Amino acid sequence: MVVHSKPAIEQLSNANSCAALLGGIPLIDLSKPDPKAQLVRACEDFGFFKVVNHGVPTALIRDLESEAVRFFSLPLSVKAQAGPPDPFGYGDKKIGPNGDVGWLEYLLLTTNSHSDYHKFSSIFGHAADKFRCLVNEYIAAVKKMACEILEMLADGLRIQEREAFSKLLMDEQSDSVFRVNHYPPCPDFPESNGRNLIGFGEHTDPQIISVLRSNNTSGLQISLKDGRWIPVPADQSSFFINVGDSLQVMTNGRFKSVKHRVVANGSKSRLSMIYFGGPPLSETIAPLASLMQGEEDSLYKEFTWFEYKKSAYKSKLADNRLGLFEKIAAS
């Protein structure tokens, strides 16, 4: 398991005061008449923000979380029947194929509403259909929110085609995924004595946008532009939005894909549910022409989502995945 040394703890303490100076994590009320400017500023400055009055039914969130908790409470031998992830299914400790590990277990699920979830039939029995329906309903709700946010961002950037970003999620071939992470309590590695156990290592999300919701247990941290880490206060009634690598490229670096990680909790379990909104595999990812100013050059080489996803899958979590696709300025 990966642990942080004492200097990292001190760094986090210093970051707390930095966050206070910055006014903390951007909070955006989606029910307000015109949050476009706030959304754009949050994507430029942090690549991360919290939304309230999001329209996702509380009962739906509660019901799906309850089913997830029930699943993760099962014996490992039973849960393992839904794994390994190939690419979808149950995983434990191992994150990806390249040696990354974390103090977590997870479910990685397709967003295809026609999936029959056959891996879960031996575990849930007839309740597998209920689980599938809850997942589909939840995904539809958070996808709708994500598309509305992307359209407001397009408006805020004065892009003529309001659906420039959202259409990629709405496409029937959209390569989006849904992930449920469970971080068990970790009493053997308390957040003291100079050590912090990593639940999920530092990384950026390769997709366009991520919509995250967790229970009332802390652990999520984001990296500021100067490299310092700040903790994100737990809030089970709100959603957190991440800018992904693909959106950073499409805005030619104007929006920042935020590096984030999760630190394990010594006494409480943490459950998070994340919708990763991705484009179709054949989609070409490049800066939008309407965002290029004058003679401004693209910072990135063109690539398809399939090419980038394949490259990201071969990398380790902490790697700079976009580095291979950046254009090197001529000296």
Q: List active site positions.
A: 270
Cβ atoms of 208 and 22 within 8 Å: the answer is: no
Which amino acid is it at 87? Answer: P
Query: What CA–CA distances, in Å, run from 257 to 102, 168, 195, 324?
Result: 22, 18, 27, 15
Please state, in angstroms and rounded to a whole number, the distance separating the CA atoms of residues 174 and 314. Answer: 21
Kindly list the strands in the beta sheet with 196-203, ordered across the sheet, starting from the edge strand earlier in the chain. Answer: 3-4, 196-203, 260-263, 220-223, 229-231
Cβ atoms of 208 and 277 within 8 Å: the answer is: yes
Cβ atoms of 128 and 120 within 8 Å: the answer is: yes
DSSP symbol at 46: T
Sign of CA dihedral 86, 90, 92, 93: positive
